[in-house]
Structure 1
Amino acid sequence: MLIRFLITTLFLLYGSALATAQNVDPGKLQLTWEVKKINYQGKSQTLAVLAITNHDRVALPASGWTLYFNSSKTHAAVSGEVQMEALNGDLNRIVPTSRFTGLPPGKSHQIEYVASGKAMNYKDAPTGFYLVWDVVPSKGLAIPDPVQKPLAAANHDGHITPAIIFERNKSIKDIPAENLPPIFPTPVTYQKGEGSFIVDASTSLQTDPLFKQEANLLAKELESMLGARLRVGAGTKDKAIVLKQVPGLGPEAYQLQVTPERVVISASAPAGAFYGIQSFKSLLPPTAWATNQENYTITAVAVSDAPRFGYRAFMLDVARNFQTKQQVLKVLDLMALYKLNVLHFHLNDDEGWRLEIPGLPELTAVGAKRAHTLSSKQHLQPSHGSGPDTTNAFGSGYYSQADFIEILQYATARHIQVIPEIETPGHARAAIKAMDARYEKYMRAGKKAEAAKYLLRDLQDQSVYRSVQRWNDNVLNVALPSSYAFIEKVVSEIAFMYQQADAPLSNIHMGGDEVPAGVWEKSPAVLALQSQNPQIKSTDDLWTYYFGKVNNILKAKGLYMSGWEEVALQKTKVNGKTRYVTNPALAKENVHAYVWNIVWGWGSEDRAYKLANAGYKTILAPATNFYFDMAYQKDFDEIGTYWATFSDLEASFSFVPFDYYKTARTPEGKAIEKSAFAGKERLTEAGKANIVGLQCLLWTETIRSTGRLEYMLLPKMLGFAERAWAKDPAWATATQPVAADPAYKEAWSQFVNVLGKRELPRLNSYAGGFQYRIPSAGAVVENGQVKVNCQLPGFVIRYTTDGAEPTATSPLYQGPINTKGTVQLKVFNSAGRSGNTTTIVNR
């Protein structure tokens, strides 16, 4: 009887707690985040405050709950009311201690804490908050992200100012539109002609049979502009656009001749005809994609053109935060317009597996979803602010086979090769957890052999490690035959999808970066492998073993292997310290190495040139210039990361592929002295032949909307497109410092004029329109006047002096402002959209 009474009592207490907890609405807990002190206590750390305000009518209890959030920082609460604990990856939690007395309705509680590193912008704010009640531990309840307070002036640590921006913009000239190169990226040669050609419904489109696909794409696009489809067929004497096959041009070369009577695009191969069409589109008015018109006038011109590099790539990470098929197709349209020809598709990482693989449903059932969990058995844990539910569109999602085949076909029609990436052996947590789920499923069914078939970890491994992104379980075991069975299975299924899409597949990127120290050291499977292979003396030697086997898997399928720079390196001891050196084993295997780590001051600035000189086919993908997830500038209001640098539009434009030391800059934008590169290896003539191309990249840890993706991508991608396609400019080979070179300043002025007056206005409506970044205004006070400038000629600046935010109807800046007091400024594009506000005080 007593036992029954106790059970009943406990049940009632449990039910009462549950009812109370459910009456507290986490959505009414408002969070505010504020940086109190950068360089706190003279160290690289930040003192910050997370304030919780209870807007509900029910108190947040003193205990019985946990608050989870995502942050790449480590945290330590200053006071004793709560504990802040790092879990795995970027998942953290806040747990109340016995000193926390609850949070009554209408009250606030401040959690003061110390975070690792300096907080430089809003990226450093914790995100993805959700509450879990102890009585319902499997359910997470979302809380809105914190309101982020501005950074106090006293905390500025070299942050950019309006005066710095003004100084950077001073050399930019306003060049009349008619004096700008008519085509972008800049062609090898062009000459303006006499008169113009009018495109209207009477224009015919004539094509050689080889270029029929390209002609149909052009006809469809012109139909959307004119409201009438052009006649497509063989040659006539009518006013026409002609696609003509001629011998002797390179596979991507073309010639474009525009006269008042006709447009002739000559090429030897379909890719050349396609790029000639893109240049023809470049001649159309920027507004041509906004509304239908009866006709469009284009200037007569003669162009001869070919790309500098045959490999012009963009890498899109969809693992950290997902992007829909529709957004990928839109990005492909953008790439095609600016003549990029490779999409490097980063399809898996620790935080997600994004491609359906037949026979391995767990990869997407488990690995493509993120939600509250501490076991990652049904789905992965929240990352990068994805929140507690699998319904988050950027945390969860994948491409079905049909989706992927459609993407491949869409890209192929636009002469873009898609290179899939299977990130291994590190950055593989999504795959590992998915194959764990598969293992448990078959073990429950009593099928032990099938369970172990694709297992990616040694179940007896006691190794302890922590990756750069703070994961402790994200590296597959390279000693297991099942790991290679998994790779072969995935490679085979991907190759079959390419066959179904009739899309080219020459190589697969196998990742290979950031495997942490400590991995595999206490794995029985690895120890057994070492005992059988005397050449494997330590876990460092497993690197060559692993990629040798993976390379053989790909070779057997007629593919070559590509990967991050580490695939071409091996660890060795130099003066007792571990160092990376070039691994000669794969240099003759056509392995392509993507080099990202030339970060100034890190010691590996010459790595790309070392690998190219040693015979590796090398793709330049430097974090300093082409990582578009880097924040544009050191401004607290900017989004993006900054671990490598702050990377603005000029960073991509100014890159010199064969001598990138020449334009090396500090994160603050100052030129680095040549003496800093004394002793660094230079690119040899033979090495130049091994630089096969350039790649820009967008990692998506901070990308949680399509608008944010486009903001980080543009206009930086246009600087990259110019460097990848156009010939080496004169300033790149000049002996004097580039920043002081009049030829550089002239080229920079020309470039930003082209963007401001033609290309960015085009992108207001092209492919549905892009939410590109609009720069902040530069401003100074001189002689009692506010002087203002802008990086992009063609854009306008509007201002207010009454404390209100400038709008599209605010006064237009046309000369120095004499009004005293606070002046607020914004740059606007032709569509009326603006950038961040610049504030300056005229005393």
Structure 2
Amino acid sequence: MKKTTIALGLSVALAGCSATQEISSTQQIVDSIASSVAVTYTVNQKLEGDASATCKTLEAEWAACQDVTIQLTNSGAAIESADWEIYFHSIRRILEVKSPEFTIEHINGDLHRLTPTAEFNGFAQNAIVDVNFIAEYWSLFETDVMPRYYVTAENAEPKVISNTDTEDMSEIMTPITGENLKRHAGDNNIIMNANTRFESNEATAQLSAASVANKIIPTPVWQDEKVTGFADLSAGISIHAPAMQQSSLDAVTLRFENFGVNVAGSYPINITIAPQQLTEEYAMSGGYTLDVSADSTAVVAFDNAGALYALQSIASLIPSDFAVNKSIPQVSVKDAPNFEYRGMEVDIARNFHSKESLLRLVDQMSAYKMNKFHLHLTDDEGWRLAIPGLPELTDIGGKRCHDLEENTCLLPQLGSGPGSDNRGTGYLTKADYIELVKYAQARNIEVIPEIDMPAHARAGVVAMEARYNKYKDSDLQKAEEYRLADPDDKSVYTTIQFYNDGILNPCMDSTYNFIGKVIEEVQAMHNEAGQPLKTWHMGGDEAKNIHLGNGFEQTGGTTGWKGDKDLTKESMPWAKSPQCVAQVAADDSLETPHDLGPMFVKKVANIIAAAGIEKTQLWQDGLKDVDAKDLPITAVANVWETLYWGGANTSNHMTEKGFEVVQSHPDYLYFDFPYEVNSKERGYYWATRYTDSKKVFKFSPNNLPQNAQTSKDRDGNNFNVKGDTENRGYNGISGQLWSESVRTDAQFEYMVYPRILPLAERAWHKASWELDYVKDREFKGGETTFVDANKQQAEWTQFANIVGQRELAKIDKAGVEYRLPVPGGKIESGKLLTNVAFPGLEVQYSTDAGSTWTTWTKPVSVTSAELRTVSPDGERFSRITEVK
């Protein structure tokens, strides 16, 4: 802090009444900046080609960086003081400040501090002050910039700068245009606008309502296409299911009621649970047969799950206009799941999502026959589950605020700003979690809790350090019981999200005391909820120093495309922990600090097994140096390597080692990535520039190499894959929603829905165009034609029409704020043409800048127009796009 601020602090201590005046003056400075100074963030250019030499010198990973300016515009009275600091969130490392009036200091994670230097001359009235700097990598989407810049000063309350207190990043960021929309010269992704979107949608024709009325999603294994006619439900339904669990029956009954179906009516639905009556291919958990006739419906189910899914299939047949057309098609179906594990992972740690949004998700997962809810409860930025006996985990680890010492909360991160009145703060109470597990159990969904460790553990580390400080003077044994950090650890590392202290120590007994305590308490919650804890996800990913990766070389190296870095100053996590150094020296099975990761996994697996839990689950890199035979428990790997970087074979390699595999590849299954290549979309994009619903639908989880023929890599280029080992089969598939840029419930639902529908389709149903895996067969993007592209498109067209004409209307009724696809459009011979990714949705156009909107039904004469899509209930609209 500057001398003037120190002097201010002394005056407060010595001056009585005048001190109050000085403090007020300092607060006035903060208030004035917060209310009068606006922030504008501009990406000037990405530095590549000859300019990348700058990036290399500045230690940018892969020598990739960008030139950026933050403009500070003062619309109020002149502000002469330099006694203030602005804190802001940047997901890109800031490498060099080029404006001499300021310094930018990295605090931890994404939090940075902007401070004026002696050369700063204040904010003149109506003046614009530039802060120019070089940041790592690139910024291609508006959500690369985080909101809630805030200003503070000594003895002043921090205040958010007014124009940054928003979730509309266009209010902060200058539009990204031209070459800045591409990663580099070799980026061949198609930027989506009305015209390119129209071209993309053209192959998906609108089908007649009658042609899709009898189609169920997810698609059944077998359906008799000769069955025709309708069953009249105008008198309501009466479900007879004496062997079905009442909680499951109640859950699906509520869904029927939500669609306007009278569940105390007369049309009989008779459900029998009789596995012996099913043939072999359907005799598995979730299997069933369904016969809907004019007089009644008969279901034979393998188990309670099958009975539930049969009822959900009936619900799938209910038309969107059921209030008018109270009938469903007659069908004959035989069905069973393709995968045992049909999952969705949700990160509520980076930003918290409400219990209500999670319950809505469980409802929709059940509606589409998904059965694994993987809940990412902890990470560096938050601990989101109350653990009895360890209140610090949520009192401190579940809260973010401007406390740089972190005595009362975690540092602000990811756009949360200085306050605690947003989704940066929050957690599930014990009662909340039990309610959620009960709710899921009734809908045949297993809740899989994830407590991420040893990396991504900073919230727990900081919270347990606060606990240590609370008890160290009164009860040292209690203070040290659950401590997670070696206070003498001098290791120098940076984690993937730029922390230097977020990895718990695997060489301390207290670490395993803590893990055992948390497992015990969560297991007790599951028992109370009536769903014994079957799977414990320990995370296991990214316990590394990013500066020791392939993107850097020792300073003075000759590689032009890697960043210079003094690697002699870097270390692996724990390498300089006295406790770990001693453990490596004393244990003959450990040669280097690298061996501590596998050791940790084995120790935690033993704790899990001793608790009587059936399985442990990890991200695949946590199992990289472990074999299944080394563990006392079944281990499941979430394989999250991109296909074009080798992930197509990684899944098989993990099965070779004896692990069950859940396909979780980010280039197809990460729902925190943008829907399309357009800077207005939300999300990270390190693995792919976009994942829309069609891309999820086209994903082949059973035969990963074939995806090379039907999709592109992250730069929009072809890639090749050859299967290099045998395929032993996979346990399942999972979608993932990480929450770094997903702060609100509305954003959460926008990102998950409707992509979760094609995810459910691929989890439940093996498509006709999915080829059997053949070792050594190579798929070459742009060359091989093994996959029947016409059949794939035809099945997508049918699926998209079901979603557009029927399913989105049902999701409307559930109160879910799903993403409406932005329409395509073009003007041809002076006539406006439009289309949409889900045919059946209404498209509106405006020729007067949005003052009036008209439903598009046929070509109409315009010179230019704005377009938007309308939800079936008429309550919501897509992002507006312009067509010229």
TM-score for the superposition, normalised by structure 2: 0.86
Q: 1:164 aligns with which of 185, 189, 196?
A: 196
1:12, CA displacement in angstroms? Answer: 6.9
Contact 2:238/2:268, CA 8 A, preserved across alignment: yes
1:229, CA displacement in angstroms? Answer: 5.2
**Could you tell which deviates more after superposition, 776-785 or 396-405?**
776-785
* Per-residue Cα deviation, 1:291-341 (whole angstroms, up to 9, x for no partner): xx5983111111111110011000010000001111111111111111110
**Could you tell which deviates more after superposition, 587-596 or 524-533?**
587-596
1:156, CA displacement in angstroms? Answer: 3.3
Q: 1:699 aligns with which of 738, 745, 756?
A: 738
* Structure 2: distance between partners of 1:42 and 1:667: 25
Unaligned regions of 5+ residues in structure 2, if any? 1-9, 53-63, 165-170, 183-188, 277-282, 546-571, 774-778
Return the letter of the residue paired with 1:656.
S
Q: Does 1:539 align with 2:569?
A: no
**Could you tell which deviates more after superposition, 112-121 or 33-42?**
33-42
- Alpha-carbon RMSD across the aligned residues, in angstroms, is 2.6
Contact 1:587/1:616, CA 8 A, preserved across alignment: no
Partner of 2:696: 652
* Structure 2: distance between partners of 1:6 and 1:356: 43
Q: 1:742 aligns with which of 748, 769, 790?
A: 790
1:785, CA displacement in angstroms? Answer: 5.3
* Per-residue Cα deviation, 1:562-608 (whole angstroms, up to 9, x for no partner): 111023212xxxxxxxxxxx6465478421111101252x3454211
Partner of 2:801: 753
Q: Does 1:422 align with 2:451?
A: yes
Q: Does 1:268 align with 2:341?
A: no
* Structure 2: distance between partners of 1:77 and 1:92: 12
Q: Does 1:183 align with 2:226?
A: no
Return the letter of the residue paired with 2:207.
I
* Structure 2: distance between partners of 1:161 and 1:185: 30
Contact 1:799/1:812, CA 8 A, preserved across alignment: yes
Q: Assess, with a 3 A threshold, how the Cα gap between structure 1 residues 598 and 187 changes in structure 2: closer, same or farther.
A: same
Return the letter of the residue paired with 2:757.
L
1:107, CA displacement in angstroms? Answer: 3.4
Contact 1:17/1:135, CA 8 A, preserved across alignment: no
* Structure 2: distance between partners of 1:172 and 1:148: 35
1:141, CA displacement in angstroms? Answer: 4.6
* Structure 1: distance between partners of 2:324 and 2:880: 39
Partner of 2:119: 99
* Structure 1: distance between partners of 2:685 and 2:221: 35
Q: Assess, with a 3 A threshold, how the Cα gap between structure 1 residues 156 and 224 changes in structure 2: closer, same or farther.
A: closer
Q: Assess, with a 3 A threshold, how the Cα gap between structure 1 residues 545 and 203 changes in structure 2: closer, same or farther.
A: closer
1:170, CA displacement in angstroms? Answer: 2.3
**Could you tell which deviates more after superposition, 77-86 or 8-17?**
8-17
1:371, CA displacement in angstroms? Answer: 0.6
Q: Assess, with a 3 A threshold, how the Cα gap between structure 1 residues 31 and 441 changes in structure 2: closer, same or farther.
A: same
Return the letter of the residue paired with 2:795.
A
Return the letter of the residue paired with 2:835.
N
Q: Does 1:198 align with 2:232?
A: yes
Q: Assess, with a 3 A threshold, how the Cα gap between structure 1 residues 344 and 229 changes in structure 2: closer, same or farther.
A: same
* Structure 1: distance between partners of 2:150 and 2:347: 25
Q: Does 1:32 align with 2:40?
A: yes
Return the letter of the residue paired with 1:429.
R
Partner of 1:632: 675
SS in 2 for 1:764: helix
Q: 2:109 aligns with which of 69, 89, 113?
A: 89
* Structure 1: distance between partners of 2:786 and 2:680: 30
* Structure 1: distance between partners of 2:602 and 2:108: 31
* Structure 2: distance between partners of 1:377 and 1:751: 52
Partner of 1:574: none
**Could you tell which deviates more after superposition, 552-561 or 213-222?**
213-222
1:75-154, aligned counterparts within 5 Å? 75=94, 76-136=96-156, 139=158, 141=160, 143-145=162-164, 147-153=172-178
* Structure 2: distance between partners of 1:366 and 1:586: 36
Return the letter of the residue paired with 1:563.
L
Q: 2:72 aligns with which of 49, 52, 57?
A: 52
* Structure 1: distance between partners of 2:376 and 2:399: 16
Unaligned regions of 5+ residues in structure 1, if any? 232-237, 571-581
Q: 2:86 aligns with which of 42, 67, 77?
A: 67
Return the letter of the residue paired with 2:817.
Q
* Structure 2: distance between partners of 1:499 and 1:800: 56
Q: 2:271 aligns with which of 233, 240, 243?
A: 243
1:439, CA displacement in angstroms? Answer: 0.5
Q: 2:326 aligns with which of 282, 288, 296?
A: 296
SS in 2 for 1:763: helix
1:760, CA displacement in angstroms? Answer: 1.4
* Structure 2: distance between partners of 1:7 and 1:563: 53
Q: Does 1:458 align with 2:486?
A: yes
Q: Assess, with a 3 A threshold, how the Cα gap between structure 1 residues 246 and 353 changes in structure 2: closer, same or farther.
A: same
Q: 2:425 aligns with which of 387, 393, 396?
A: 396
Partner of 1:578: none
Contact 1:201/1:295, CA 8 A, preserved across alignment: no
Partner of 1:620: 663
* Structure 1: distance between partners of 2:13 and 2:657: 76
SS in 2 for 1:444: coil
Partner of 2:767: 728
Contact 2:12/2:19, CA 8 A, preserved across alignment: no
* Structure 2: distance between partners of 1:710 and 1:830: 17
* Structure 1: distance between partners of 2:712 and 2:476: 56
Q: Does 1:799 align with 2:799?
A: no
1:147, CA displacement in angstroms? Answer: 2.5
Contact 1:634/1:668, CA 8 A, preserved across alignment: no
Q: Assess, with a 3 A threshold, how the Cα gap between structure 1 residues 196 and 245 changes in structure 2: closer, same or farther.
A: same
Contact 1:197/1:261, CA 8 A, preserved across alignment: yes
Q: 2:385 aligns with which of 355, 368, 387?
A: 355
1:781-800, aligned counterparts within 5 Å? 787-800=833-846
Contact 1:166/1:778, CA 8 A, preserved across alignment: yes
* Structure 1: distance between partners of 2:591 and 2:181: 50
Partner of 1:573: none
Contact 1:48/1:115, CA 8 A, preserved across alignment: yes
Partner of 1:234: none
Q: Does 1:774 align with 2:820?
A: yes
Contact 1:599/1:644, CA 8 A, preserved across alignment: no
Partner of 1:345: 375
* Structure 1: distance between partners of 2:671 and 2:637: 20
Q: Assess, with a 3 A threshold, how the Cα gap between structure 1 residues 208 and 260 changes in structure 2: closer, same or farther.
A: same
* Per-residue Cα deviation, 1:783-828 (whole angstroms, up to 9, x for no partner): 56554332221123332344x1375x3252522x5533x3322233
* Structure 2: distance between partners of 1:635 and 1:561: 39
Q: 2:868 aligns with which of 826, 831, 837?
A: 826
SS in 1 for 2:374: strand
* Structure 2: distance between partners of 1:153 and 1:619: 39
SS in 2 for 1:591: strand
Contact 1:591/1:616, CA 8 A, preserved across alignment: yes
1:154, CA displacement in angstroms? Answer: 5.5
Return the letter of the residue paired with 2:588.
P
1:659, CA displacement in angstroms? Answer: 1.9
Q: Assess, with a 3 A threshold, how the Cα gap between structure 1 residues 716 and 738 changes in structure 2: closer, same or farther.
A: farther
* Structure 2: distance between partners of 1:713 and 1:182: 23
Contact 2:231/2:292, CA 8 A, preserved across alignment: yes
Q: Assess, with a 3 A threshold, how the Cα gap between structure 1 residues 797 and 87 changes in structure 2: closer, same or farther.
A: same
Partner of 1:810: 854
1:836, CA displacement in angstroms? Answer: 2.2
Q: Assess, with a 3 A threshold, how the Cα gap between structure 1 residues 635 and 219 changes in structure 2: closer, same or farther.
A: closer
Return the letter of the residue paired with 1:826.
R
Partner of 2:553: none
Return the letter of the residue paired with 2:391.
P
* Structure 1: distance between partners of 2:316 and 2:788: 31
